[in-house]
Amino acid sequence: MVSVCMATYNGEKYLKEQLVSVLQQLAIHDELIISDNQSTDKTLEIIAAFQDSRIILLEHKDSTTLARKRTINNFENALRHAAGKYIFLCDQDDVWLPNKVSRTIEYLQTHDLVLSDCTLIDETTQEIEASYMQLIKANTNLLASIYRNPYMGCCMAFRQRLLEKALPFPKHIPMHDQWLGCLAKLEYSVKQLHEPLVAHRIHTQNVSTSGSKSSYSLSQKIAFRYHLLYALLRAKLANK
């Protein structure tokens, strides 16, 4: 079984296109778990209109003021319900390329986490960058990944055993995708796939900076890396 985990919040503008691109790649026994954090637009109506038994809609109430933290918590809620052997993270505003699931599962036979490349598109689906990995010079070496996150969630899929070790998310991690990627690199095996499998949409409501200059202060960046490193060391020591 494949479990696709999506976090939504007021995503009506691009959601339908993304849901179509995901569902057409899933088998009848797969699942699309959507955790919605109190959307006030037509997000829930769009989801309901599909009338697809593979969709599992979860209500998530999170009043946290930080958008970054709300996103982490929303994804964690979806991931807690994932039953699949293979788990994909999914944004509400992207477009999956037609071979994303099949190509990723090929590499999940021999690796615990697969990080694919993606193209960057604008609000009208026009291509901005052909390769996100080249744009940020993505490096999945563990120390390099702690310094600069190469793990964009929409490009990631992993095996269930990584999720069992990763949950619950440590309280102060910078982002869920960086935690999952670094933990996989520390404990298991990671495949960096230089092949775009997602069209990642850049627009004014993105939580991730997707290669643009970070708005966080130096002290915030240092704190993020400290908390991530501390969580990874705890995970490593827990196995001894």
Q: Can you give the pLDDT at residue 1?
A: 94
Q: Can you give the pLDDT at residue 204?
A: 66
Reading the block at residue 123, the tokens are 């609000």
Q: Can you give the pLDDT at residue 129?
A: 97
Q: Which residues contact 130 (CB under 8 A, 6 or more apart)?
A: 119, 196
Strand partners, 7: 35
Reading the block at residue 79, the tokens are 């991931």
How far is the C-alpha of 179 from the C-alpha of 182, rounded, in Å? Answer: 5
Q: Can you give the pLDDT at residue 238?
A: 85
Model pLDDT for residues 10-40, shown as the tens digit of each residue: 999 999 999 999 999 999 999 999 999 999 9
**Greatest distance between any 2 Cα atoms in the chain:** 51
Query: What domains appear along the chain, each with residue ranges and CATH number?
Result: 2-238 (3.90.550.10)
Measure the N-to-C terminal CA separation of the chain; round to a whole number of Å. 31
Asked whether 173 and 150 are in contact (CB, 8 A), the reply is: no
Over 127-144, what HEC string results? EEECCHHHHHCCCCCHHH
Task: Extract the residue ranges of the chain whose pLDDT is less than 50.
Answer: 209
Asked whether 48 and 76 are in contact (CB, 8 A), the reply is: no
Q: Can you give the pLDDT at residue 164?
A: 94
Q: Which residues contact 138 (CB under 8 A, 6 or more apart)?
A: 115, 132, 150, 192
> Which amino acid is located at 155 in the chain?
C
**Would the pTM of this model clear 0.75, i.e. be above it?**
yes
Asked whether 15 and 46 are in contact (CB, 8 A), the reply is: yes
Q: Which residues contact 168 (CB under 8 A, 6 or more apart)?
A: 76
Strand partners, 57: 34
